[in-house]
């Protein structure tokens, strides 16, 4: 049987070989043409790539630099501001220009028509000058940048290509142009090195069909005539893709001669908005069939011989392929990673030992089973099928994660790389993948991420949850609360005088104290309540929603707050120190309809109310607190309007000596509010100090008082001195002295007439700065009075170092001087101290004759109060000064000018 087959093979072999030889011969001609053209096209494509690489390296960087400058935020602000040193700009442009030998210019122009150029010329662009038409064209162009050719320079053979970028500000408004100029002749020389022969030509064409680089109109173009070239350019610029054209024409009627043909390739260069066109003219080649038919037959015999040898080699390669396949199967089976494969229907046809180990299934148990139906979990089934479908289309998948079930019904996570499996002809026959068991790795990673997330929500010092966790937790509580009548409670705690511990004992002691406080807070709330440290010495305690009445919520919160306060008040032992902590506690109740920010703000405001109430350290946020805060906010928001519309006014309260002679005036500000009526300074000055508006108000006061003193002086009226209240915050403003000097010069004020009153509560932490400001003003002749003396905690050491010439005894001591021995003792001490320091004393709030007699007996030098005069308006003070000038008694003043 085998011999018969062999003889049959020998009989039909020559016919097969002859037919094969003819096919090969005919194919040879076709292959010669196709392969030659393919090589030509590949060479042309390589040439295009080299040219583009050269353009990217040599040409585009300066254009990108221009584009980057046009889009740089700092540069936009620089152009828009108009604050530019022209010489600095010119040097900068020259430096950029020198970096690239292809550039001829680098320029900047702004919307004010200033033109900066590296040649050192700074000029204005003339809209009526035709040479400056490029500016209007660039400004009105629809795109962010445009290419222009300097047509006037063509006759000099130095054609220049300008690339202009428009510059817009942050609001999208046009503010200028930046651009570069490129000499095309240099570009042509740069690219000329790439052409291999006279049969190749490089052309650059813009989007309007204008030739930027290439043959001129009068050139004798050897590859394409003018008509063909114009048609080619029209086709190229109309194409949105890369353009290929292989105009090969075979003319068998001319004895095998090849007619002239062209290969054309174009690519669009986005950054230049131009098309790069490469044309190659294949030189005519004459092919002559000089060989005889015998040689042709000999060639066929040779081809047959080669075919026989080819059969031998193919058989040998087949055997080698079988051996490689066996080796590959052995490698697959022994691989230390699960390898599995399926056919086109998804049936398993590959399952190595590692896949057996991970799954628990032997290879013979799974072969032929559907992978997706039998092994993949429900969650991963659709996605795994999608991956198989993609692989069958020839797409590869890397690091795909899915789950499949093991023999003991245990889910295993596998990360898989898959690809199509092909036969010897390249046909896709299935999918094969190699994976990694990442079940334990993912479990460890998830545990690590969970721990890291927990650390991100924990305060490292106290081990309490931090601000971030508190905000997230409160938001979740509000979102998932289903009880519209449920009440939650938030405690906001701030430690009193904790800064003193850090400043005096150090942060290490302070940190240990915070740890103890955190432990006590946690032990004095209920299970399920949340305690967090917001930062510094601020803590919060959150009670979850409960279905209780408002009265019950208040009672419960008060008990917990008292418990916390008592616990914190117990001694805290830190190393050798015995410390105690006191906290101001603000409490707010809320429902699910409240917002996170609103809840925290209410508790925070209640905490500040607790700080202000010295009788207790616990305060609830109530409607009355809300009304007070809203009133304060209304006042604060109206300050700017008051300054702009002159709602503030000044009144003055006279000061007298013991002989009832006028010795000065104290300037007092009032606010004629359009809705709230007349407001005294205590209604808005403290708010202005807290919320950083006092400097503006203080400047207005200085201007108003100095201006009034000038008006009195111009009418012949003089005052001994005028006292002006200054906030300590004003003294910390670096420009305060400059403001005083400027206003004094404007209104020609004599500094000896001015006394600045400063409260005793001035901050000692900025003592050196305040001392320097007062010394600067003292040198100019200004005097200073310590206001509300006795009410604060002024250090006598610091007090003596400041240039005070006067003290004012607070009216709270004067009011009880006739009945209260302690108040009388304080006044006696103040007067004695002032006398020893050679200081004047002004007693505030003197309202009765008895008070005056006591003070007069003690040697007080000045008086201010209702016994002498209430605060008066400008008209009343003017009248008072006129009576004083005439030597008349002030009792003749009409009371209708008095301002309360």
Range 701-720 average pLDDT? 94
pLDDT category of residue 712 using cuts at 50, 70 and 90:
very high
pLDDT at 415: 81
Q: How far apart are CA 740 and CA 745, in angstroms?
A: 9
State the DSSP code for 765: G
| The pair of three-digit structure tokens given for residue 244, joined into one six-digit string | 């290929």
Which residues on neighbouring strands pair with residue 491, listed in sequence order?
541, 587
CA nearest to 204, candidates 163, 168, 172, 246: 163
For residue 821, pLDDT over 90 is answered with no
**What is the model's pLDDT at position 652?**
96
Percentage of the chain modeled with pLDDT above 70: 75
pLDDT score, position 754: 96
pLDDT for 900 equals: 38
Q: What are phi and psi of 844, to 5 degrees?
A: -90, 150
Q: Round to whole Å and give the CA distance between 61 and 80.
A: 25
Per-residue model confidence as pLDDT tens digits over 346-394? 898 888 888 888 888 888 888 888 888 877 888 788 888 888 888 888 8
pLDDT, position 62: 67
Q: What is residue 650's predicted lDDT score, i.e. its pLDDT?
A: 95
> What is the structure's pLDDT at 134?
73
Please name the residues in contact with 132: beta carbons below 8 A apart, sequence gap of 6 or more.
125, 126
Distance CA 616, CA 591 (A): 26
pLDDT score for 126 = 78
Q: What is the pLDDT of residues 157-205, one digit of tens each?
A: 566 777 888 888 777 788 888 888 877 777 676 666 666 556 677 787 8
Which one, of 636, 638, 641, 609, lies nearest residue 622 by Cα? 609
pLDDT in tens, 91-134: 777 777 776 666 777 778 877 778 777 777 677 887 777 777 77
Residue 154 has pLDDT above 70, yes or no: no
What pLDDT, in 10s, does the model give residues 526-540? 988 999 999 899 999
Residue 485 pLDDT greater than 50, yes or no? yes
- The per-residue pLDDT for range 832-849, each reduced to its tens digit, is 888 888 889 999 999 999
- Residues 770 and 764: their CA atoms lie apart, in Å, by 9
What is the pLDDT confidence band of residue 149, given thresholds at 50, 70 and 90? Answer: low
Alpha-carbon Rg for the chain in angstroms: 48
Give Cα 748 to chain centroid, integer Å: 50
874 CB burial (10 A radius; 0-12, 13-18, 19+): middle
pLDDT band at 497 (very low <50, low <70, confident <90, very high): confident
Question: Which of 319-323, 510-514, 765-769 shows the lowest mean pLDDT across its residues?
Answer: 319-323
Instruction: Give alpha helix (H) positions in 335-438.
Output: 353-359, 363-366, 371-375, 381-392
Q: Which of the residue ranges 67-76, 239-248, 688-697 has the most confident prediction, judged by mean pLDDT?
A: 688-697
Non-local CB neighbours of 683 within 8 Å, separated by 6+ positions: 635, 671
Cα–Cα distances (Å) from 25 to 17, 28, 289, in that order, read 12, 5, 14
Q: Which two tokens stand for residue 631?
A: 């009133």
Strand pairing of 840-844 and 862-864?
parallel
pLDDT above 70 (res 807): yes
**What would the pLDDT profile of 660-676 be if each residue is shown by its tens digit?**
999 999 999 998 888 88
Averaged pLDDT, 604-612: 86
pLDDT over threshold 80, residue 878: yes
Q: In the prediction, which pLDDT does 851 show?
A: 93
pLDDT recorded at residue 840: 92
Model pLDDT for residues 284-333, shown as the tens digit of each residue? 443 333 344 455 556 656 666 676 666 556 555 655 554 555 555 665 66
Average pLDDT over residues 732-745: 92
> How much is the pLDDT for 285?
40
Task: Give pLDDT, residue 899.
Answer: 39
pLDDT (0 to 100) of residue 898: 37
DSSP state of 366: H
More confident residue, 684 or 879: 879
d(CA 461, CA 514): 8
Residues 262 and 279: beta-carbon distance below 8 Å:
yes
- Please give the Cα distance from 324 to 401 (Å, whole number): 31
Residue 744 pLDDT > 90: yes
Of 126, 166, 133, 125, nearest to 150 by C-alpha is 133
Angle between helices 874-886 and 694-714 (to 10 degrees): 40
State how far the Cα of 567 lies from the Cα of 527, in Å rounded to an integer.
17
- Using pLDDT thresholds of 50, 70 and 90, give the confidence band for residue 649: very high
Q: CB–CB of 258/285 below 8 Å?
A: yes
Q: Are 665 and 722 in contact (CB under 8 A)?
A: yes
SS3 of 444-457: HHHHHHHHHHHHHC
Is the pLDDT higher at 205 or at 152?
205
CA distance 90 to 114: 12
CA dist., res. 177 & res. 270, Å (int): 20
Name which of 505, 499, 649 is nearest 578 in CA terms: 505
Which residues are CB-contacts of 544 (< 8 A; sequence separation ≥ 6)? 477, 488, 528, 529, 530
Angstrom CA distances, 835 to 598, 778, 840, 861, stand at 55, 21, 8, 10
pLDDT of residue 755: 96
Instruction: Note the pTM of the prediction, 2 decimals.
Output: 0.45
The pLDDT of residue 283 is 47
What are the two backbone dihedrals, phi and then psi, of residue 274, each rounded to the nearest 5 degrees? -135, 160
Question: In whole numbers, what is the pLDDT of the chain averaged over residues?
Answer: 78
Instruction: Kindly give, in sequence order, each residue whose CB lies less than 8 Å from that of residue 814, ignoring residues fewer than 6 positions away.
Output: 823, 827, 843, 844, 845, 846, 851, 855, 865
DSSP assignment string, 630-653: HHHHHHHHTHHHHHHTT-EEEEEE
CB atoms within 10 A of CB 868: 17
CB-based contact 663:721 (threshold 8 Å):
yes
Say whether pLDDT at 443 is over 50.
yes
Q: What is the DSSP letter of 775?
A: H
Cβ atoms of 531 and 539 closer than 8 Å = yes
Helices (H) and strands (E) in the chain, counts: 30, 32
> Does the pLDDT of residue 82 top 70, yes or no?
no
| 793 has pLDDT over 70 | no
Show Cβ contacts of residue 758 under 8 Å, excluding neighbours closer than 6 positions.
726, 728, 731, 784, 785, 786, 787
Q: Residue 442 above 90 pLDDT?
A: no
- Residue environment code for 465-484, b if the CB has 16+ CB neighbours within 10 A, otherwise e: bbeebbeebbeebbeeeeee
Of 11-25, 483-497, 852-866, which range is least confident? Answer: 11-25
**Span 621-629, average pLDDT:** 76
Q: Give burial (CB, 10 Å; 0-12/13-18/19+) of 10.
A: exposed
- H or E stretch including 768? helix 767-780
**Phi, then psi, of 670 in degrees rounded to 5:** -130, 155
Cα–Cα distance measured from residue 885 to residue 662, given in angstroms and rounded to the nearest whole number = 11
- What interhelical angle do 467-480 and 596-612 show, nearest 10? 120
Dihedral sign computed on CA atoms, order 450, 454, 456, 460: negative
């Amino acid at each position: 049987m085998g011999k018969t087959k062999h003889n049959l093979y020998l009989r039909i072999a020559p016919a097969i070989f002859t037919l094969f030889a003819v096919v090969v011969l005919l194919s040879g001609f076709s292959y010669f043409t196709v392969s030659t053209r393919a090589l030509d096209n590949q060479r042309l494509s390589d040439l295009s790539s080299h040219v583009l690489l050269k353009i990217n390296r040599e040409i585009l960087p300066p254009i990108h630099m221009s584009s980057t400058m046009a889009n740089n935020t700092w540069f936009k602000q620089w152009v828009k501001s108009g604050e530019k040193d022209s010489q600095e700009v010119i040097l900068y442009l020259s430096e950029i220009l020198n970096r690239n030998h292809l550039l001829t210019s680098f320029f900047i122009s702004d919307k004010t028509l200033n033109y900066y150029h590296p040649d050192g010329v700074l000029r204005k662009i003339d809209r009526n000058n035709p040479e400056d038409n490029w500016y209007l064209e660039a400004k009105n162009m629809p795109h962010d940048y445009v290419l222009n050719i300097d047509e006037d320079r063509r006759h000099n053979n130095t054609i220049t290509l300008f690339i202009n970028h428009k510059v817009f500000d942050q609001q999208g408004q046009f503010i200028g142009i930046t651009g570069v100029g490129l000499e095309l002749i240099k570009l042509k020389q740069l690219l000329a090195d790439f052409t291999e022969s006279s049969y190749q030509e490089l052309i650059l064409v813009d989007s309007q069909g204008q030739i930027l680089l290439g043959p001129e109109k009068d050139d004798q173009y050897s590859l394409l005539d003018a008509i063909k070239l114009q048609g080619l350019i029209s086709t190229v610029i109309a194409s949105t893709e890369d353009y290929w054209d292989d105009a090969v024409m075979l003319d068998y009627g001319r004895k095998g001669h090849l007619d002239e043909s062209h290969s054309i390739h174009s690519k669009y260069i986005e950054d230049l908005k131009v098309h790069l066109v490469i044309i190659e003219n294949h030189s005519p080649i004459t092919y002559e069939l000089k060989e005889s038919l015998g040689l042709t037959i000999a060639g066929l015999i040779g081809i047959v011989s080669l075919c026989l040898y080819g059969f031998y080699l193919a058989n040998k390669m087949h055997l080698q392929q079988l051996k490689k396949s066996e080796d590959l199967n052995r490698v697959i089976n022994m691989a230390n990673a699960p390898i599995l494969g399926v056919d086109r229907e998804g049936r398993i046809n590959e399952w190595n030992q590692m896949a057996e180990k991970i799954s628990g299934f032997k290879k013979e148990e799974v072969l032929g089973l559907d992978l997706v139906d039998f092994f993949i979990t429900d969650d991963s089934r659709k996605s795994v099928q999608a991956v198989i479908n993609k692989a069958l289309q020839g797409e590869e998948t890397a690091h795909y994660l899915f789950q499949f079930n093991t023999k003991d019904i245990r889910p295993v996570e596998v990360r898989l790389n898959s690809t199509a499996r092909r036969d010897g002809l390249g046909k896709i026959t299935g999918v094969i993948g190699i994976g990694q068991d990442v079940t334990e790795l993912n479990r460890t990673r998830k545990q690590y991420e969970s721990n890291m997330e927990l650390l991100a929500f924990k305060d490292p010092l106290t081990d309490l949850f931090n601000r971030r966790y508190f905000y997230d937790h409160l938001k979740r509580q509000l979102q998932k609360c289903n009880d519209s009548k449920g009440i939650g409670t938030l405690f906001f705690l701030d430690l009193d005088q904790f800064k003193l511990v850090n400043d005096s004992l150090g942060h290490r002691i302070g940190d240990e104290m915070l740890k103890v406080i955190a432990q006590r807070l946690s032990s004095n709330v209920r299970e399920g309540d949340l305690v967090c440290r917001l930062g510094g010495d601020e803590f919060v305690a959150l009670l979850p929603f409960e279905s209780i009445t408002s009265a019950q919520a208040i009672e419960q919160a008060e008990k917990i707050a008292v418990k916390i306060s008592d616990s914190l008040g117990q001694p805290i032992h830190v190393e050798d120190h015995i410390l105690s902590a006191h906290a101001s506690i603000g409490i707010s109740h809320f429902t699910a309809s409240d917002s996170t920010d609103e809840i925290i703000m209410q508790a925070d405001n209640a905490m500040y109310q607790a700080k202000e109430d010295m009788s207790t350290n616990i305060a609830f946020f109530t409607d009355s607190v809300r009304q007070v805060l809203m009133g304060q906010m209304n006042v604060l928001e109206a300050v700017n309007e008051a300054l702009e519309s002159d709602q503030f006014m000044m009144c003055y309260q006279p000061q007298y000596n013991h002989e009832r002679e006028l010795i000065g005036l104290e300037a007092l500000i009032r606010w004629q509010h359009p809705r709230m009526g007349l407001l005294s300074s205590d209604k808005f000055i403290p708010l202005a100090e807290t919320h950083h508006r006092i400097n503006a108000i203080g400047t207005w006061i200085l201007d108003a008082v100095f201006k009034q003193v000038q008006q009195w002086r111009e009418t012949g009226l003089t005052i001994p001195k005028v006292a002006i209240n200054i906030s300590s915050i004003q003294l910390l403003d670096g420009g305060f002295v400059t403001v005083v000097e400027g206003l004094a010069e404007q209104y020609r004020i004599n500094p000896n007439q001015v006394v600045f009153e400063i409260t005793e509560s001035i901050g000692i932490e900025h003592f050196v700065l305040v001392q320097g400001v007062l010394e600067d003003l003292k040198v100019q002749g200004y005097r200073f009075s310590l206001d509300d003396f006795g009410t604060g905690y002024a250090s006598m050491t610091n007090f003596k170092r400041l240039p005070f010439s006067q003290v004012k005894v607070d009216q709270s001591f004067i009011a009880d001087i006739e009945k209260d021995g302690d108040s009388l003792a304080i006044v006696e001490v103040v007067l004695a101290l002032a006398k020893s320091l050679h200081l004047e004393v002004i007693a505030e709030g003197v309202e009765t004759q008895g008070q005056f007699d006591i003070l007069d007996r003690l040697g007080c030098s000045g008086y201010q109060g209702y016994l002498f005069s209430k605060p008066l308006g400008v008209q009343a003070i003017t009248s008072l000064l006129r009576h004083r000038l005439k030597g008349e008694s002030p009792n003749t003043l009409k009371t209708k000018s008095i301002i309360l």
